[in-house]
Structure 1
Amino acid sequence: MFKILGNSPASSVYLCSPNSGKIKTCLVKAKGKRPTHSALVELNMVSAFVGGHAGSKFMKRRRASINLLYGLPRKDFLVNNAVTFVESSLVSEGTEKSTSSIGVREESIVPSWGNVTFEQDRVLKLEEDATQLRTTSKELSTVLDNRVWLGETDEEMLSKRLLTLSRSNKVRSALGLYRSMELFGVKPNIHACNSLLSCLLRKQLLDDALKVFESMRKNDVVTAHTYSLILKAIAYHHDCKSALKLFFELEEDCKLKKDFDVVVYNTMISVCCKVNNWVEAERLWRCLKESNHAGSKVTYSLLVSVFVRCSRNDLALDAYYEMTQNGLKPGHDTMQAVIGACTKEGKWDLALCILQDMLESGLKPNQIAFNSVINSLGKAGKVKLAFEIYKLMRSSGHKPDAYTWNALLGALYRASRYADALWLFESIKVQERSTVSFHLYDTALMSCQKLGLWDKALQLLWQMEASGKLVSTESYNLVIGACEVAREPKVALQVYEHMIHQNRPADIFTHLSLIRACIWGSLWNEVEEILDQVSPNASIYNAYIHGMCLRGRVESAKQVYQKMRKYGLEPDGKTRALMLQYLSNDTSPRKR
């Protein structure tokens, strides 16, 4: 028990030991003068209760008079018969120091108060009691780590103060005020709690934020925004898997699930999108529908985005259909992503409709969307529509690139308009020389092969080599194929020799074109040399046998067939039919 006499800077404190009945007088120096403005007064007091006895009436009256003198609430703090010391100070409102935590010092149970001294056994006893207090009452020790005495108990006023401190990023003050309100049973409103939670997360204090979150759940002061803040923080500081685990644990609780809305689901879908986890995104989409929540525009935009990035175009289209059925208008990026999904799925009609909707709505599709639609139309054989979209792209201010030209050339080639493809290629070389790539050259070489224009193919090949870039084996094969169609085997052999001289390896397609060209040119020795140079291959032997039989060299075809069977190669149906025909003629009995 203690008694304070006087109101001077130095006051006497009488300490009474219940065991000995002795009174010890100490001198306590005040820390500062009382401020002129409104202040919160923190008093360091000792409440001693031993053996469950509260002491005499005189002691109770003294304690009550001290509480009234310093404006403290008439409340006794009795925890496990322990003694709690709180450092005294005078703290002003409106500053960071005003609500900062002072509480029980970890360095020493008994703070240094000038010339205050205690008996050694008394100090040891107090240390043991304080240690027991921290061990047995974790919640109260957490509160005492950072608390202030409340000058008022009005929930609305304290909530506004907590909101102001949180918005000002005064973390210590805001957290101290919240813990003090919790200690005195004063509940801040939801807005103030969420603001404190945001303040802690902005300062990267996840552990404190989780403690506040658990306290809010205990007091049933949570909203969907609260869950969104915590889930995003878990995903940021840990990973997507941890956030999903917490989300589904909370969702299983029917009491907590009622607080979930579409914003919480959008938060988790966004977390999955950042790591391209489309599997969990689809699972969250199903959970959203099972909980009878309607997806928002943000929901479907996120779903379409992650599904397109992960090449799940079917799911992206399903999300788009559901979005339009719910009466939601997709945004610019969503429509462009859906166009890409449609073109990859071969749904050129839907892609064309979406593109037209964008143009009618005043939205400007990007060049990628235009190119995707042109390419999709070209693959579908809609050449005229493809060139109309090309004109729309030019009128929208987009300049065609190599992808655009390749889509148009490909459309003409698939439509068997080989001459038009070559004409367009020459126009591109004159107007857009910088955009001409080897891929465009290959498309032109394919047209030359179909038309048998071996001289044009050679001209394009020399242009490709003159660029200084390495020409691929496929390009040489196209030139050899043009020579094969034009029945120019000698030219084909020259291109082949030049190809080997350029250190470009020949493949099976090279040898097949050469063998077919040499057979039709009756270059039998060259055919034998090519057949000896390549490793045994069923496709090459089949082509050789076909050509020999068609040219009337049946005996040579039989020899090659025997060699083919010796190597264990399987003949195709045409080779088998030819050999059965000729071999049966040889074994049939001759007429006398």
Structure 2
Amino acid sequence: MENGKVKPDVVTFNTMIKGYCKSGNVKKAIERFRDMEVRNVEPDKITFLTLMQACYSEGDYDFCVKLYNEMQDKGLDIPSHAYSLVIGGLCKEGKSMEGYAVFENMVTEGCEPNVAIYTALIDAYAKNGELDMAMGLFHRIQNEGFEPDEVTYGVIVNSLCKSGRLEEALQWFEYCKRNNVAMNVVLYSSLIDGLGKAGRLEEAEKLFEEMVEKQCPRDSYCYNVLIDALAKNGKVDEALVVFKKMEDEEHRNEEALKLWDLMIDKGITPTAASCRALATGLCLSGKVARACKILDELAPMGIVLETAFEDMMNVLCKAGRIAEACKLADGVIDRGREIPGRVRTIMINSLRKAGNADLAMKLMHSKIGIGYHRMRSVKKRVKFRTLVES
């Protein structure tokens, strides 16, 4: 008791801090955290982890590190999730050495790292021009029995290309093909750029066409690096052909939509494959709402595509169309077509597979999709679009 009143304990403060974090008021959460010291209430690892997640989502990586240091000073058990946040934040700021120091401390404390942590460090070292360190960590993953994923290989191939080590990049690219590693847009676009800069235009064009065979959507970056390489090597006419192809892909969706409407008017039931192809094409051309409308119209025809939305989100993320993917995710939840938690999981996995680990981590540690905010008496779900708006 305190002056006849119940004294708040760590559970009380944790509840308040979590509430402030969920409502987006991290400043107030930090104030309550500092109040704990004044009231002689010791924070626990839940207190620290809640604040670290909120600060990471806000982009305040410095405070994440401060909280981590406080945990160490207090002798608290640091969970693997906290290490991930600190290492991820340091890597995003380009502080590869500091991130590696936390990583080594993590290993020393008996906390096993994962592929995502290794990949973040590899990417940070490579962007700092320390490719030997990056490659050393890459080989360490393999030696310790971890299986690198397509995101890791994407970072390696991109880094090797940018450092002029094109042959090594090609070797790892072929390794991915032989070992059934998912081929994402980062792997292809990095090599197209590298080959183009090296004047190896025929190989670059071959990979560009191969993306269609492998059902890997070509984004604007792929088109632009190939157009740039052709133009700089005096092949202006060929560059214009590629540019026209980029425009044609947009117009092709309009023609497909007219054909679709004609089929429906004549009472022809479309196949699942044609539905999927059209929905995906519309998404890539920015017509997400129209794609969703088409899928909604399929139910009365007895056509149910179990993974349609998942496929659409995957292809949008692979093409770097994150804003459209978020719009689609919001639409799925608003229509009540999927459980919000499942949509979040799909989106996180899609971002990771597309090589966008930073946004995947940001989504993972946010309240997007499953949290709520209040505007007076109205409770509204936090939209996926805030992922790219904030």
TM range (shorter): 0.5 to 0.7
After superposition, the Cα gap between the structure-2 partners of 1:318 and 1:360, relative to the gap in structure 1 and judged at 3 Å, is closer
Deviation at 1:292, TM superposition (A): 4.5
After superposition, the Cα gap between the structure-2 partners of 1:421 and 1:485, relative to the gap in structure 1 and judged at 3 Å, is farther
Unaligned runs of 5+ in 2: 253-390
Map 1:403-482 to 2 at 5 A: 403-432=151-180, 434-468=181-215, 470-482=217-229
Q: Does 1:309 align with 2:41?
A: no
Q: Which has the higher contact order (CA 8 A, sep 6+)?
A: 2
Corresponding residue number in structure 1 for 2:259: none
After superposition, the Cα gap between the structure-2 partners of 1:469 and 1:375, relative to the gap in structure 1 and judged at 3 Å, is closer
Q: Does 1:495 align with 2:251?
A: no
Alpha carbons 2:230, 2:238 under 8 Å: kept: yes
The CA deviation string for residues 67-102 of structure 1, in whole angstroms up to 9 with x for no partner, is xxxxxxxxxxxxxxxxxxxxxxxxxxxxxxxxxxxx
Query: SS of 1:372's equivalent?
Result: helix
Deviation at 1:492, TM superposition (A): 2.2
Query: SS of 1:502's equivalent?
Result: helix
Deviation at 1:293, TM superposition (A): 4.2
Task: Select which of 30, 34, 42 maps to 1:286.
Answer: 34
Deviation at 1:337, TM superposition (A): 1.9
Partner AA of 1:400 in structure 2? P
Give the Cα separation in 2 of the matches to 1:295 and 1:501: 60
Corresponding residue number in structure 2 for 1:361: 109
Partner AA of 1:463 in structure 2? E
Unaligned runs of 5+ in 1: 1-221, 223-253, 506-592
Corresponding residue number in structure 2 for 1:320: 68
Deviation at 1:442, TM superposition (A): 0.6
Map 1:172-191 to 2 at 5 A: none
Deviation at 1:465, TM superposition (A): 2.3
Corresponding residue number in structure 2 for 1:372: 120
Give the Cα separation in 2 of the matches to 1:297 and 1:358: 16
After superposition, the Cα gap between the structure-2 partners of 1:469 and 1:351, relative to the gap in structure 1 and judged at 3 Å, is closer
The CA deviation string for residues 393-439 of structure 1, in whole angstroms up to 9 with x for no partner, is 2344432212111111232234343443233323322333x411122
After superposition, the Cα gap between the structure-2 partners of 1:265 and 1:499, relative to the gap in structure 1 and judged at 3 Å, is closer
The CA deviation string for residues 491-515 of structure 1, in whole angstroms up to 9 with x for no partner, is 323333444443479xxxxxxxxxx
The CA deviation string for residues 325-379 of structure 1, in whole angstroms up to 9 with x for no partner, is 3333422221122112221222211221222222233221122212211211221
Give the Cα separation in 2 of the matches to 1:400 and 1:374: 12
Q: Does 1:297 align with 2:45?
A: yes
Deviation at 1:460, TM superposition (A): 0.7
Partner AA of 1:404 in structure 2? T
Alpha carbons 1:370, 1:393 under 8 Å: kept: yes
Give the Cα separation in 1 of the matches to 2:174 and 2:4: 68
Which of the two has higher C-alpha Rg?
1
Query: SS of 1:255's equivalent?
Result: coil
Structure number with higher helix proportion: 2
Give the Cα separation in 1 of the matches to 2:59 and 2:79: 20
Deviation at 1:462, TM superposition (A): 1.2
Q: Does 1:386 align with 2:150?
A: no
Corresponding residue number in structure 2 for 1:255: 3
Give the Cα separation in 1 of the matches to 2:136 and 2:85: 21
Deviation at 1:284, TM superposition (A): 0.8
After superposition, the Cα gap between the structure-2 partners of 1:265 and 1:390, relative to the gap in structure 1 and judged at 3 Å, is same
Give the Cα separation in 2 of the matches to 1:283 and 1:438: 44
Corresponding residue number in structure 2 for 1:583: none
Deviation at 1:441, TM superposition (A): 0.6
Query: SS of 2:7's equivalent?
Result: coil
TM-score (norm 1): 0.39
Give the Cα separation in 1 of the matches to 2:145 and 2:223: 38
Deviation at 1:389, TM superposition (A): 1.8
After superposition, the Cα gap between the structure-2 partners of 1:504 and 1:459, relative to the gap in structure 1 and judged at 3 Å, is farther
Deviation at 1:258, TM superposition (A): 8.3
Alpha carbons 2:20, 2:29 under 8 Å: kept: yes
The CA deviation string for residues 119-173 of structure 1, in whole angstroms up to 9 with x for no partner, is xxxxxxxxxxxxxxxxxxxxxxxxxxxxxxxxxxxxxxxxxxxxxxxxxxxxxxx
Q: Does 1:485 align with 2:246?
A: no
Alpha carbons 2:185, 2:217 under 8 Å: kept: no
After superposition, the Cα gap between the structure-2 partners of 1:266 and 1:473, relative to the gap in structure 1 and judged at 3 Å, is closer
After superposition, the Cα gap between the structure-2 partners of 1:293 and 1:462, relative to the gap in structure 1 and judged at 3 Å, is same
Q: Which moves more between the two structures, 329-338 or 371-380?
A: 329-338
RMSD: 2.7
Partner AA of 2:182 in structure 1? T
After superposition, the Cα gap between the structure-2 partners of 1:502 and 1:274, relative to the gap in structure 1 and judged at 3 Å, is closer
Deviation at 1:312, TM superposition (A): 2.5
Map 1:51-130 to 2 at 5 A: none
Identity %: 25
Corresponding residue number in structure 2 for 1:108: none
Deviation at 1:470, TM superposition (A): 4.3
Partner AA of 1:482 in structure 2? A
Deviation at 1:319, TM superposition (A): 1.1
Give the Cα separation in 2 of the matches to 1:331 and 1:500: 50
The CA deviation string for residues 543-568 of structure 1, in whole angstroms up to 9 with x for no partner, is xxxxxxxxxxxxxxxxxxxxxxxxxx
Corresponding residue number in structure 2 for 1:398: 146
Give the Cα separation in 2 of the matches to 1:257 and 1:398: 54
Deviation at 1:274, TM superposition (A): 4.8
Give the Cα separation in 1 of the matches to 2:80 and 2:72: 14
The CA deviation string for residues 499-542 of structure 1, in whole angstroms up to 9 with x for no partner, is 4443479xxxxxxxxxxxxxxxxxxxxxxxxxxxxxxxxxxxxx
Alpha carbons 1:374, 1:390 under 8 Å: kept: yes
Deviation at 1:267, TM superposition (A): 3.3
TM-score (norm 2): 0.58
How many residues align structurally?
252
After superposition, the Cα gap between the structure-2 partners of 1:315 and 1:504, relative to the gap in structure 1 and judged at 3 Å, is farther
Give the Cα separation in 2 of the matches to 1:400 and 1:411: 15
Partner AA of 1:438 in structure 2? V
Alpha carbons 2:183, 2:216 under 8 Å: kept: no
